[in-house]
Chains A and B, each alone.
Chain A
Amino acid sequence: MQFIQQLIQQLINGITIGAFYSLVALGYTMVYGVLKLINFAHGDMFMWGAYLGLTGFNVALAMVGQAGGWSILPIVIILMLTVALVGVLVERIAYRPLRSAGRLAPVISALGVAFILQSLARNVYGASYKTYPTGITPTGGLSLAGSARVSTMQIIVLITSFLLMGALYLFVQRTRIGTAMRAVSLDHDTSRLMGIDVNRIIAIVFLIGPGLGGVAGMIVALYYGSFDFTLGWSYGLKAFIAAILGGIGNIPGAMLGGMLLGIIETLGAGYLSPQWKDVIAYAILIIILIFRPTGLLGERVAEKV
């Protein structure tokens, strides 16, 4: 009984962390889909979401005296739009001019943008750990079977991320623009022949990916309570790994990979030892990749006829 309760608790925690990984992994996987580029700056856009949330809450506190409750909604929207705008600008300035320059140059450019965004955050906000104003993170929760608990914050995290991921999935599968995204992921030239403005589709991807990442940044900061400018590096790298695990370029794959990584990590930390959680998680990752190099849901690279 004790064992089951513990397992349920670990799973709840694992899924929560997995939801963060999934949200961020989507940004990597969508960009990889349309550009075949690993956007290493994505983690730092996510980190900026955390900082912009901090500024938003402080401004709300100064202006209306409180930062909890519904004031969170305009903050989320403004932060999402800002990070999305940064994403679009980065693509326009740092990636598009390099599109015909092979695979390596854009990756280096992405690393450059990552360092710029990171240094910028450190210079603007300082190198110390930041915490959100008190009273914003919801407290309380529900007791499940015996000692297992799901906190209000976890419920919010799970509902928000599943809603966002569900909406994205429907958008990509059901709408004209979403179908065009999948077409562009397969073949730029043929997409052009359909009358698709490929640059516009890529810009839309750079709106959505960083937009989701920005929101994830804020929620992660709320969940953990404190963060610093290396958040994008540590968390972003794991989300990137989650994207690879699920099959990079594949949207449901990113969601699955994130969840799996979160759960494996948490179970490893809970049952074995927290110090060994990364060793366990990445050993499993390596094993999965040995047997499925394209990731769990990744397609085999189609051979050109």
Chain B
Amino acid sequence: MTLLKIENLHTYYGHIQALKGIHLEVEEGEIVTLIGANGAGKTTTLRTISGLIRPRDGQILLDGQQIHTLPAHRIVEAGIAHAPEGRQIFSTLTVTENLNMGAYTLAADKAAIEENRQRVFDLFPRLEERKNQLGGTLSGGEQQMLTIGRALMARPKLVLLDEPSLGLAPMLVKAIFDTIQEINARGVTVLLVEQNARAALKVAHRGYVLETGRVVLSGAANELLRDERVRKAYLGEQ
């Protein structure tokens, strides 16, 4: 079943056109990755989906319902959580408070919030150890765990992960990608944006290649891994 369907998406920053007619679909239960160079429009695509930027043309459907006309906080209620690029955690809030903000849409449902927090702690035991620490005092890897954990607090149908491996040590990168698969195995659909194309394609079911605001290639992840053009442009092979 198609969970997310993006049709002919056009997004601008002022006069600069960032997305020039993106088409994209995410099936329920999939991990789909967007790869491409800097400035290809990967982050813009995610920010348009979550409502931080309004598209000028095209539409975004979640479960067949239009969401691109909704304000960002309603899109979270509709079931999309976004872990933004650069680990935008709330630095002067504690780990627990950060997680609670992720569950903001659950309002007074204390039992559900508690249950979700426990799930996040199961996934990232480190966060439980540091639950009373301020977000800004965590290490880079812990902040990334918090960003992902926070996005999972609302029990989203779809989670958007923007560059989760950026700036992490190689060992942590592997752990983060393992976690992404684990999250997916627990029933959350994932749309993953990554510079690390090889690692992303290894965990993803399907992938889209973006170049200057357009989808230039798409297909099963293992096929993209073998594709000549992908290997040359994004996997660093000669």
Contacts and interface: CB of A to CB of B under 8 A. Distances in A.
Interface of A is mostly: helix
Interface string B122-144: 00000000000000100000000
Contacts of A299: 92
Contacts, number: 70
A150 interface: no
B76 interface: yes
A190 B88 contact: yes
Contacts of A176: 100, 104, 107-108
Contact of A192 (B51, B91, B102, B107): B51
Contacts of A187: 88, 90
B104 A195 contact: yes
B27 interface: no
A250 to B, nearest CB: 10
A198 B71 CA distance: 10
Interface residues of A, number: 20
A186 interface: yes
A179 interface: yes
A195 B73 contact: yes
B52 A194 contact: no
Contacts of A186: 90-93
Interface in A257-305: 299, 302, 305
Contact of A180 (B77, B101, B150): B101
Contacts of A197: 71, 73
B82 A193 contact: yes
A7 interface: no
Interface in B46-102: 50-52, 71-73, 76-77, 81-82, 84, 86-88, 90-93, 97, 100-102
A193 B84 contact: yes
Interface of B: 50-52, 71-73, 76-77, 81-82, 84, 86-88, 90-93, 97, 100-102, 104-105, 107-108, 136, 150-151, 154
Given A182-B92, A196-B104, 8 more contacts: A179-B101, A186-B90, A186-B93, A189-B52, A189-B84, A190-B84, A192-B72, A196-B73
18 contacts: A182-B93, A186-B90, A187-B88, A187-B90, A190-B88, A190-B90, A191-B101, A192-B51, A192-B52, A194-B73, A194-B102, A194-B104, A194-B150, A195-B76, A195-B104, A197-B73, A299-B92, A302-B136
Interface of A: 176, 179-180, 182-183, 186-187, 189-198, 299, 302, 305
Q: What 3 A-B pairs are tightest by C-beta distance, nearest first?
A: A195-B76, A195-B105, A192-B72
